[in-house]
């Protein structure tokens, strides 16, 4: 579910990505559908109102990543708690679509976006409440503010992608060449 949180934040919030501006998507429903399908390929199409709600959820989840990147765990925890509260997140076992019983984290009667928000906030709460809280981050490459979760063995990831890492390494290499 943390990967869904990353996908929602990176797909539905404005900012910068790999040195280019990321504007709000033109067709929110299409972008929201593509974003959810990047994690769950069979996800149904997202309606326009659901997409607007997902954008709001993504903005709230972004606050968590930004707070962790600033080493402000209090803000991150308070934001997760607020999303958990607002989405009425609670664990429950469900079985659907021919799948075995599995855990969901949303209350009955919620909206599609609210249910995703509850699940993502629960996943972020598990991360923040454990030993890997510092594994959430915001890309440190210039002109990029996309978020990531560091699943590397040594926990030293600083970039959202290999492209950003290569951009920074290339710029540093060129700068060293100009000095010498």
Residue 68 confidence (pLDDT): 98
For the domain 2-179, what is the CATH code? 1.10.3300.10
pTM for the full predicted model: 0.91
**Residue 103 and residue 126 in contact, taking contact as beta carbons nearer than 8 Å:** no
Residue 104 confidence (pLDDT): 87
Rounded CA-CA distance 161/73 in Å is 24
Could you list the mean pLDDT of each consecutive 10-residue stretch along the chain, which spans 180 residues?
96 92 85 93 94 97 98 98 95 89 83 95 97 95 96 92 92 77
């Amino acid at each position: 579910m943390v990967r869904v949180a990353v996908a929602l934040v990176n797909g539905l919030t404005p900012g910068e990505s790999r040195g280019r501006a990321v504007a709000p998507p033109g067709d929110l429903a299409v972008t929201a559908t593509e974003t959810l399908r990047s994690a769950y390929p069979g996800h149904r199409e997202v309606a326009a109102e659901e997409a607007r709600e997902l954008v709001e959820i993504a903005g709230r989840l972004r606050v968590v990543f930004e707070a962790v990147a600033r080493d402000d765990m209090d803000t991150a925890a308070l934001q997760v708690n607020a999303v958990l509260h607002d989405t009425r997140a609670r664990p429950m076992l469900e079985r659907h679509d021919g799948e075995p019983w599995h855990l969901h984290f949303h209350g009955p009667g919620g909206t599609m976006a609210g249910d995703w928000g509850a699940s993502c906030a629960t996943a972020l709460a598990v991360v923040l409440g454990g030993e890997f809280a510092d594994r959430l981050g915001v890309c440190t490459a210039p002109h990029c503010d996309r978020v990531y979760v560091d699943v590397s063995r040594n926990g030293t990831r600083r970039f959202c992608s290999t492209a950003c890492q290569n951009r920074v390494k290339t710029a540093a290499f060129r700068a060293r060449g100009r000095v010498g």
